[in-house]
Amino acid sequence: MKPILSLVLAAAVITLSAPASAQFAKPEDAIKYRQNSMFVKSVHFGRIGAMVTGRIPFDAKAAVENADVVVVLAGQVMPGYGVGTEGGKAKPEIWKEQAKFKEMADVGLADAVKLAAAARTGNLDNLKAAFGPTAESCKGCHDAFRSR
């Protein structure tokens, strides 16, 4: 594992051990965090998408690096939606249907982990096979829980 990723993961573990209410100084920060996190995720996921569709050449090393960013951020979804942080594009259902929301977040993370594993095989067909389900997970959760 790269030193930088180890550091990010260590920071994530420390962050996760704090109660959700202590995650952000103010609710607007949680909203900003969610939106920026989603933007960064979409940039890195999008680069893999561009390889999968042939818009950019397949680069196995870049695929791994991009997938790893998606994994780290996909693992940080729940802390972004603590009690009292309603707002932004997040539907109120997120806080009313916590179990469903968490389940979708967990599936999203599992798919991202599979995407990173597929990237590590260095095989474009494996990357293609893992990309679709991950995109479906992203879309499914956005359709259910994000307002337009």
Interface ranges with ligand ASC (CB under 6 A): 42, 45-46, 135, 138-139, 142
Q: CB of 76: closest distance to ligand ASC in angstroms?
A: 16
Task: Please identify, using beta-carbon distances, which residue of 64 and 112 lies nearer to ligand ASC.
Answer: 112
Task: Please identify, using beta-carbon distances, which residue of 20 and 32 lies nearer to ligand ASC.
Answer: 32
Task: Please identify, using beta-carbon distances, which residue of 119 and 138 lies nearer to ligand ASC.
Answer: 138
Q: Angle at Cα 74 formed by Cα 73 and Cα 78, nearest 5°?
A: 100
**117/128 Cα distance (integer angstroms):** 12
Q: Could you give phi then psi for residue 121, rounded to 5 degrees?
A: -75, -15
Q: CB of 113: closest distance to ligand ASC in angstroms?
A: 16
Task: Please identify, using beta-carbon distances, which residue of 18 and 43 lies nearer to ligand ASC.
Answer: 43
Q: CB of 38: closest distance to ligand ASC in angstroms?
A: 7
**16/79 Cα distance (integer angstroms):** 7
Report CA-CA distances (Å) from 9 to 2, 12, 13, 75, 106: 11, 5, 6, 10, 17
Q: CB of 145: closest distance to ligand ASC in angstroms?
A: 12
113: helix, coil or strand? helix
